[in-house]
A and B are shown apart, each in its own frame.
Chain A
């Protein structure tokens, strides 16, 4: 295995892991407030198609990403109204969001299949990108990758040091108590869900603008679901998402590794890798049920309605 291959694998691993990192970060914030949104896949698809369409018509990366995030937020609010306001089962509402997003994105993107846009260029830092092995992976990525790192830091600091971060955790542990103490439970949950939507929209647009760049029906292919596992994998700790996302990024680029090493394995079997990796990780994490419960926000997924 030569240096070039390792360099390229590291680079591709981070590039592939970035959308997972973004969605998982958004979903983690959402889950910290006690809301389980299984609609990530649907929101990502909508983000992907929205970003692609905006980019195709305006040729502006910023508009593409911003539009995708807005669409992601709109989708998440749809979920929030049903799951929080109308008190529907969160699992069912999340599934509905995914089904709806899958259908709507396929419909909206119908005319855009096979269309071309220019890929988001990488922002290489001239001097540093040639550092052996890690240079390309860290210093020759595109703007969204850098943004994802910034977001991780910001969210980490928010939960660590900001009092509102404490409020989010409190609401996720016991909304009734939080409400008794006068915290605006609904507002906090709405904002957390919306942040999750924005991140999913951004991650979707990353796929259709910065990663492939094109739109195909169902192109997210399970990344939204994998991100949900990632949150569990990170045991609801922000810093651990990074590790998890890039690990899954690596599992997703097994075909590159196989190519580089001249393995002769069916590409369909290699395409199973991220899903199998997810199952393996789930098994390892779930062995100790009690330990898992230790980190999970206590009110996660439970409907709550202020009684007054």
Chain B
């Protein structure tokens, strides 16, 4: 290795109102290495990368690229230097084709559309990620979209590829393919910066790692020489319990029963549900794994009543057919719901916590003859804040001013406090720090032990393995069988997530959705 590093970031600091996203961060990357940037959600990883890519400007600090100080104030400057980035939320335009998306970024380098299409084909095939340049992005799977992003970077003179949480959208099998491509790239001298919070991936793939906590670097290490435990400590600090014990539960009688639920897709991006059969018993937690966009939203909306499918008679709550009932009527049968988007659906951003407590708890004695009982509402908001340790200046703070984890605790608390018979949750701890994660899991488990039926949809397999009593997967609107996590190997769950439902449902679609 030469002395000159590929990249050195020196003392980078960036402050946002109310939080220091990066505080004197130092980061070195060698030629041809895969470097991990580790940290919890909110540790400042994404902000640091955005500054490296010219999307965000640092308040102070400097960037040395191949030995020379550079000022990256535009993504185009970064690309000119040979830095490519794949964002966690893809930077692709749904209505444009693959080659149009790539042409937008390449600018004058794109050449005419014919030669560009040829270049896309050859490059994508060389790295084992075949692509059709004329397809619209909206028709591609998540894995394919990621390929477009990576190929787009490869068409530049790539020297450093930044990947922000690239595996969270992939099945375990797709992850293996991605890792192969990355190793091929580093052999050709390209460096990779791999952002993640999944320790096992980092120990498997990366040559070195930098760990961030609350905007500060808390350690550099060679992941292959560390244990998961020691890295996790660097990520979360000494004082927080990393896990809580989970007892399994078998549940009692069936509360929610879904029999042969099929829907037709109503919109361009919707997935049709195909013949879903699922029971959730009182006192058990059922987990559903799956890559985003495989029908999770549609299933949850069919259950919550946000989508009502005419003529359907497939869902019962405690024996009552509820398909044609409005969301309000279902809530009155004991449904509570924690949706995926907490700001804008689970809570109204501009309203304060009192109003957001009232949002779904209106049946808990907060309304009398159509008039609001203000004191009762304040009482409830304060109770939720106290009981679930929501960090906030007071009940008159707007929901938007809370951090993601705190707002999620509030929403979960609000729904749990209604003592529901059936709790639907989507991504209960997505983007939540470990402390809050533990608190939310505890609250869910206690609710289960009080006899509530709980259905959780998540992309976080660690979480699902931890708290589910029965676990299965959804792919392309179809659902697998459900097994206790102890007897369900990760490989098998991965196959299910890819649509390979093996013997039990071989009759409708035995062949894998992805190659």
Contact = CB atoms under 8 A, between A and B. Distances in A.
A/B contact in complex, CB under 8 angstroms: yes
Interface string A169-184: 1100110011111110
A1 interface: no
Contact of A163 (B74, B92, B104): B104
Contacts of B266: 290
A298 to B, nearest CB: 7
A182 B152 CA distance: 14
B79 A166 contact: no
Contacts of A170: 93, 96, 104
A177 B79 contact: no
Contacts of A307: 56
Contact of A183 (B50, B87, B94, B104): B104
A182 B87 contact: no
Contact of B91 (A163, A167, A181): A181
A262 interface: no
Interface in A171-219: 173-174, 177-183
A87 to B, nearest CB: 15
Nearest to B101: A170
A181 B86 CA distance: 10
Majority secondary structure of chain A interface residues (helix, strand, loop or mixed): helix
Interface string B317-355: 000000000000000000000000000000000000000
Contact of A173 (B87, B94, B268): B94
If over half of B's interface residues share one DSSP class (helix, strand or loop), that class is named, otherwise mixed; here it is loop
Interface residues of A, number: 20
B100 interface: yes
Interface in B296-317: none
Residue among A166, A177, A179, A294 having the largest count of chain B Cβ atoms under 10 Å:
A177
Q: Which of A177, A182, A307, A308 has the most CB of B within 10 A?
A: A182
Contacts of A178: 93
A240 interface: no
Contacts, number: 55
Interface residues of B, number: 27
Nearest to A174: B93
A178 B55 CA distance: 11
A182 B95 contact: no
Of listed A167, A179, A180, residue having the most chain B CB within 10 A = A180
A177 B91 contact: yes
A298 B110 CA distance: 25
A294 B268 CA distance: 7
A293 interface: yes
Contacts of B54: 182
A293 B267 contact: yes
A124 to B, nearest CB: 42
A308 B75 CA distance: 13
A178 to B, nearest CB: 8
Nearest to A171: B93
Interface string B85-120: 001001111111000100111010010000000000
A182 B74 contact: yes
A182 B268 contact: no
Contacts of B74: 182
B400 to A, nearest CB: 14
B121 interface: no
Interface string A290-301: 100110001000
B57 interface: yes
Nearest to A308: B56
A169 B96 CA distance: 9
A166 B75 contact: no
A180 B87 contact: yes
Contacts of B104: 163, 166-167, 170, 181, 183
B56 A182 contact: no
A298 B93 CA distance: 10
B87 A166 contact: no
Contacts of B41: none
A182 B105 CA distance: 8
Interface string A148-174: 000000000000000100110110011
Nearest to A167: B104
A163 B103 contact: yes
Given A293-B267, A308-B57, A182 B94 contact: no
Interface string A84-98: 000000000000000
Nearest to B50: A180
Contacts of A290: 266-268
B262 interface: no
A286 B91 CA distance: 30
A163 B74 CA distance: 19
Interface of B: 50, 53-57, 74-76, 79, 87, 90-96, 100, 103-105, 107, 110, 266-268
Given A169-B96, A294-B268, A307-B56, 14 more contacts: A166-B104, A169-B93, A170-B96, A177-B90, A177-B92, A178-B93, A180-B55, A181-B75, A182-B79, A183-B104, A293-B268, A298-B94, A308-B55, A308-B56
The 9 closest A-B pairs by CB, nearest first: A182-B75, A182-B76, A177-B91, A173-B93, A290-B267, A308-B56, A170-B93, A180-B91, A180-B55
